[in-house]
Chains A and B, each alone.
Chain A
């Protein structure tokens, strides 16, 4: 190929690439800019993953770190009084990969309903962002409604809503345990027991099997005691 022909071929090929780039950019999924990543001590890790084009893998790692934080805390947050940073940790995950449905639901579940963590406004922020960045997931709206009932003090309707989402594949194991605890607090021991037994039966909730084994005999005892009192 003569040099002039090579240059002409390069120009034609570049024009083809440019022409294809326009629809490709328009049809591709857009991600939140790096400037929106939460300023945590782990931001360099997030930026490094995003710069290398590994957003999904970076979000997975951030998800594991959030689970670690929820279980035992993280060294980068010393002196944490428990779940202080769960909102920003969930935003790390979802701003790297906005389609990480479970991260929104997990964090909102803990902030909204976990025993001793009463931060429904933060849960609401997470869910509203979820609806904006990841539209089409019905559980976000359902949790938002659940939080509204909680704020109004209408626990009957709140529990009914959460119960309706129990079998949804996106409902996390921790949300199922939260629901069991809510039933237990309301004195509905049979319902709580049924949930813990269901958790123990399913592999999807493997992480909560230990707690289920502890809770089932406790609830059985409570049910027996209540029955004997009635007699």
Chain B
């Protein structure tokens, strides 16, 4: 635990000192205030539009940040050979990886929380988001970002090319929003092989189609059972990606 915490601390500090993180957070704030102006066009649905645009902006910036940061996270340290120096210390590779991932996630989460606070205050100012739904929608966005972070880390270690890892991450993000369509096609398919392949893919890619409190907000029918299942899903998916990342990282020779 000590070693994980030490790596976590230095990763968090490294990201927060980085200008990219600050620019991302500032860009997010600009988008949120821009949303305030744009939402005036929605007339009677102003609060709704401000809410949706703000949450979408927070999630998109969180996604871009986490993919960019995690893809560089280990590969850059391998390229700069800093990883040799770290691994000469009595530190397990799995602890190093976990500390680096959690530190990155904490940095991105802090940025998202700052943007979320400003956004929530703006929405409250206009009389919206009085219940706990905002926290649920924000947490869901953060869950998606955590899943994408773990997946990007695995992709970066497996593909060893930053560009390819980023492209695959974005591809999987989009594909993840089509799991409902994939399962629908699998049900309709007469070919058992196609059905099996589509079902397997729809379960292997992150199931963002059913993990989207932000889009289901206005229907107001998200239950506690759904939230509990969604939390377990994020935990399970992240842990699976991290364990596979450890497997790949352990086999790398430095």
Interface residues of A (CB under 8 A from B): 1-3, 6-7, 9-11, 13-21, 23-25, 27-31, 33-34, 50-57, 59-60, 63-64, 67-68, 97-100, 102, 134, 172-173, 204, 206-207
Contact = CB atoms under 8 A, between A and B. Distances in A.
5 contacts: A17-B232, A21-B203, A52-B60, A56-B215, A172-B44
A50 B178 CA distance: 9
A27 B213 CA distance: 12
For chain B, which range describes its interface: under 10, 10 to 19, 20 to 34, or 35 or more residues? 35 or more
A28 B216 CA distance: 8
A21 B49 CA distance: 30
Interface in B30-84: 41-45, 48-49, 52-53, 55-56, 59-60
Contacts of B133: none
Interface in B158-209: 173-174, 176-181, 183-184, 203, 207-209
Contacts of A60: 42, 45, 48-49, 52-53
B82 to A, nearest CB: 22
Contact of A16 (B225, B236, B244): B236
B45 to A, nearest CB: 6
Nearest to A171: B44
Contacts of A34: 181
B210 interface: yes
A10 B42 contact: no
B211 A24 contact: yes
A10 B243 contact: yes
A67 B243 CA distance: 50
Given A14-B240, A57-B56, A60-B42, A6 B247 contact: yes
Contacts of B121: none
Given A24-B211, A60-B45, A1 B174 contact: no
A23 B184 contact: no
Given A10-B247, A60-B53, A63-B42, A29 B219 contact: yes
B16 interface: no
B100 to A, nearest CB: 15
Interface of B: 41-45, 48-49, 52-53, 55-56, 59-60, 92-94, 144, 173-174, 176-181, 183-184, 203, 207-212, 214-223, 225-226, 229-230, 232-233, 235-240, 242-244, 246-247, 250-251
Among B44, B60, B226, B247, find the residue whose CB has the most chain A CB atoms closer than 10 A. Answer: B44
A1 B93 CA distance: 8
Given A51-B174, A60-B45, A29 B184 contact: no
B57 to A, nearest CB: 9
Tell me whether chain B's interface is mostly helix, strand or loop, or mixed: helix
Contacts of A17: 232-233, 235-237, 240
A102 B215 contact: no
Contact of B43 (A1, A13, A28, A207): A207
A15 B243 CA distance: 13
Contacts of A97: 215, 218
A104 to B, nearest CB: 13
A31 B232 CA distance: 23
Given A57-B52, A57-B53, A16 B239 contact: yes
A218 B43 CA distance: 26
Given A31-B215, A67-B42, A97-B215, 19 more contacts: A10-B239, A13-B238, A13-B242, A17-B236, A20-B232, A20-B236, A21-B207, A23-B226, A24-B210, A24-B230, A29-B222, A33-B184, A53-B173, A53-B209, A56-B55, A57-B56, A63-B45, A102-B44, A207-B43
A56 B220 CA distance: 13
Contacts of B217: 56
The 5 nearest A-B residue pairs measured at CB: A17-B236, A16-B236, A13-B239, A10-B243, A20-B232
Among A27, A67, A100, find the residue whose CB has the most chain B CB atoms closer than 10 A. Answer: A27
A53 B215 contact: yes
A9 B48 CA distance: 42
A73 to B, nearest CB: 16
A74 to B, nearest CB: 14
